[in-house]
Structure 1
């Protein structure tokens, strides 16, 4: 190539405008792009894929794991994603979900198994029920769940509370939803609105909102939301889905052991403790073991708040390590091996057997939760989240309502509260300039409220609740999904009322 030819080629390249790929754009820039036919196509394909999954599970009775795989394949192919990329997207989603949630579910199941077999869960239940009327139990469950849910991921809190929920429902003879819905509401509301949960922290960072103000307003909005969507809504949920504790897999497993002569029935007051447990743990020991991982995670959160600078601090380094959910749960299981194992009279072989047995019943949950994560990632990588963000921005509504609606549509499309919060906060960071610190805090909470809306088949939490309580897909929609919608709307209403007075 001659020098003149090379110079001409370089000049032509310099004269050509640089076109940014979609991957190079910020969330706000993507949302500001014009609506195209591809966006319409992606929305229609996403709706069709979700409908396909529901039909396969509810009508054709296909296992949810296979239905989610087929739904993901349809979504990617119809959405124009190359086949090899579609497979990788699904695998990445499964791996990412199980990496974050799967290990914690397994550790929580181990802790729950030792808690139940040692008689510790029975001790907690007896203490909660002693001298309490049936009408007070749902309120107590909401309070316990809210306290546990303060520093804890929703999935971990549910796994830890599940044995208690089932036993309380069985011994009090209350419908399972009357006890379970208040606990779910307490966990979910704290997860979406209150730091140090990742969603609220992401929104706070993106919008530059003050942490203390957001925390104070979040607690103010959380109280009425938990009350209305927990104990109050549980009355209706129990009528619409009148199932008892015997629908939960944990109850059925314990009843099977009872029929084999290994334990008493949870319905006759004998509890689910193993006869080998010669010295059941006291209430203080039981509560201390349950709260141990919560305290570690809370200390990590406090350390992150106190020492926000990046400078080295040995105390913060230690607390950050111990407060990581995986580390905290591993340490909690090791502690339970002592307090719920050796101390009550279990042999080493018996403890090992119980830990092994705890994983078997949740194998199906692993598959379903993982596949739900795969479907979520397929939605995200196909570009559905970007399309729904465009639609929300084009509505031209108020800043507070826009933050809420952005989170709602992205949550419905992707199934992830964290993704909804991250994307919506990224968009609002560029659109919410000029807000006061108080207004920024309320917009962050509005985004958190929207991120909880309409949990359905593309949400791993939907399947975790369904499998944990032994519900059908339709029953899960009438209880869990409706409760999440109610939480989202009530929380946003509470935030709007605060907005009107500040």
Structure 2
């Protein structure tokens, strides 16, 4: 297992803002997380406010001066928003262009026209994965639910046979694949290479979604044999459009940022010379900011204009895409503030001191921490950013590959067993017309399978790469 030189790390790190011992720091972490969990689950307080209060409680219990705890939190919030805020905004704009132009419908309709019978669950995975690439999970659900209901009704499929693969495709993108906010924050926290993380994330995601999606849906459809509920299927985005973009142009636009980031990773491996012109060029065009910005600009011409959008409507689409992400950005930022408070109080060093003689893998430890926080808070994003802050010091002497795998272990753990404290749980329950028990046997178990399979694959890769 990759280990740290604790003495070297301690020499380079700034002094903690508290002199608390390991026991007091451990108690502070537990109390801080417990406060966040209580505020989110019991008092239904917004995750942004809960994380803010939890960070300050953590600092207070750890014995840190309140002004220093506030500074740590605001510094962490600012640096996190600075590093991923623009990327979240660009991803939201691209997703809104994709939805409003009818591009998402074009991808869906084209793939469904080619799929029949037993191929349909696999087609649903493909649709959800492609459409979900630039979209947040909740937006992806809202976008795909009409398709899932339509396919289930017209083809007389069990809703679980069609719905579970679609949900698995969305979830795996949300947990493992940048540019989603959780993976981006974890990449920033542990200083991982985005291109390598993306490449390994795709390698882990494919078998994970196959097991948790089409294969598990066979079992889920027997356990919960329900049909699509009799409700009015919501109007699709392209129903009021005279025309919509082509399938090829839409797919190329969605995949453009992924291709650019993967190209950068391949060039970095092949060239490995910072002074080389080719590598410097790909360092620019393969950066997340440039890749997503390029996709948005290209999307205006390949999605907006072919759909007949005027300049005014394109601007309105951008505005609408940005408005819903304020809460998401603040939650991610507050998670970064909580992470920085953990680090500045010395919790990261405490974990190093305690775990340096353990035989447990850092990859497994990261997965377990993310699982615990996910179960407690119900939020995959909160689990990701909190776990990333806790295990970030473990990445100090890891290789580029293992640092990327650490990010994926955190992402996999953040998907574990969605239950009643997760908004996604209720979203799935209400859209599919299930009761709580049926939702646990389908959605919750699917998330758990996805988490365990992805975590196991990441662990195996850490042993052989």
Correspondent of 2:148 among 145, 155, 169: 169
Residue of 78, 96, 100 corresponding to 2:83: 100
Distance 1:470 1:216 in 2: 30
Output aligned runs, 1:244-283, within 5 Å.
267=233, 271-273=236-238, 275=240, 277-283=241-247
Kindly tell me: are residues 299 and 162 of structure 1, through their superposed partners in 2, closer, same or farther at Cα, counting changes over 3 Å?
farther
- The 5 Å alignment of 1:215-230 reads 224-230=207-213
Contact 2:347 2:390 in 1 (8 A): no
2:166 is aligned to: 179
Correspondence for 1:139: 122
Residue number in structure 2 paired with 1:404: 363
Seen in structure 2, the aligned counterparts of structure 1 residues 358 and 288 have a Cα distance that, compared at 3 Å, is same
The answer to whether the aligner puts 1:373 opposite 2:355 as a matched pair is: no
1:99 to 1:21, Cα distance in 2 relative to 1, 3 A: same
User: Who is 2:457 aligned against?
Assistant: 491
Deviation at 1:198, TM superposition (A): 5.1
What is the rounded CA distance, in whole Å, between the counterparts of 1:352 and 1:221 in structure 2? 37
Once the two structures are superposed, the pairs formed by residues 24-173 of structure 1 within 5 Å of their partners are: 24-25=11-12, 38-133=21-116, 136-142=119-125, 165-173=144-152
Q: Secondary structure at the match of 2:43?
A: coil
Determine the structure 2 residue equivalent to 1:341. Answer: 304
Q: Quick one: structure 1 residues 148 and 456, their matched pair in 2 at CA, closer, same or farther if it must change by over 3 Å?
A: closer
Corresponding position: 1:301 with 2:288:
no
| Structure with larger Rg | 1
Change (3 A) 1:383 1:373: same
CA–CA separation in structure 2 for the residues paired with 1:493 and 1:451: 11
What is the CA deviation profile of residues 317-369 of structure 1, one whole-angstrom value per residue up to 9, with x for unaligned ones?
22221121111111211111122222321111111112112222222222222
**C-alpha distance in structure 2 between counterparts of 1:273 and 1:141, whole Å:** 19
Alpha carbons 1:177, 1:241 under 8 Å: kept: no
Q: Deviations over 1:421-448 (max 9, x none)?
A: 753243668xxxxxxxxxx97x778746
Q: What is the CA deviation profile of residues 372-404 of structure 1, one whole-angstrom value per residue up to 9, with x for unaligned ones?
A: 222222222222222223332233x2xxx4333
CA contact (8 A) 2:122 2:214 kept: yes
Shift of 1:231: 4.1
Distance, in Å, in 1 between the alignment partners of 2:349 and 2:322 is 38
Task: Quote the Cα distance in structure 2 between the aligned partners of 1:159 and 1:325.
Answer: 22
CA contact (8 A) 1:45 1:79 kept: yes
- Which residue is 1:352 aligned to? 315
**8 Å contact 1:122–1:167 — kept in the other structure?**
no
Q: Measure how far apart 1:75 and its partner are.
A: 0.7
Unaligned runs of 5+ in 2: 1-6, 153-158, 374-382, 430-435
Change in CA separation of 1:189 and 1:384 when aligned onto 2, cut-off 3 Å:
same
Determine which of 246, 251, 275 is the counterpart of 1:311: 275
What runs of 5+ residues in structure 1 fail to find an aligned partner?
1-19, 31-35, 205-210, 247-254, 256-264, 430-439
1:226–1:157 distance in 2 versus 1, CA, 3 Å: same
Q: Is the 8 A contact 1:148 1:187 kept in 2?
A: no
**8 Å Cα contact 1:185/1:230 also seen in 2:** no
CA contact (8 A) 2:267 2:279 kept: yes
* Residue-by-residue CA offset, 1:21-58 (whole Å, 9 max, x unaligned): 9742579xx9xxxxx98212212221222122111121
C-alpha distance in 1 between matches for 2:411 and 2:393: 14
**Cα pair 1:72 1:378 within 8 Å, conserved:** yes
Tell me, what secondary structure is at the counterpart of 1:424?
Answer: helix
CA contact 1:76–1:382 (8 Å) conserved in 2 = yes
TM-score, with normalisation over the residues of structure 2?
Answer: 0.71
Q: Of 375, 390, 393, which aligns to 1:423?
A: 393
Q: Is residue 425–residue 444 contact of structure 2 (8 Å, CA) maintained in 1?
A: no
d(CA) in 2 for partners of 1:230, 1:389 = 37
Cα distance, 1:183 vs structure 2: 3.1
**1 CA distance for matches of 2:79 and 2:228?**
32
Q: Determine if contact 1:124/1:283 at 8 Å carries over to the other structure.
A: yes
Higher mean alpha-carbon deviation, 378-387 vs 86-95, is at 378-387
Could you say what the CA RMSD is over the residues aligned between the two structures, in angstroms?
Answer: 4.9
| Cα separation, 2, equivalents of 1:237 and 1:304 | 43
Please say which of residues 375-384 and 36-45 is displaced more in the overlay: 36-45
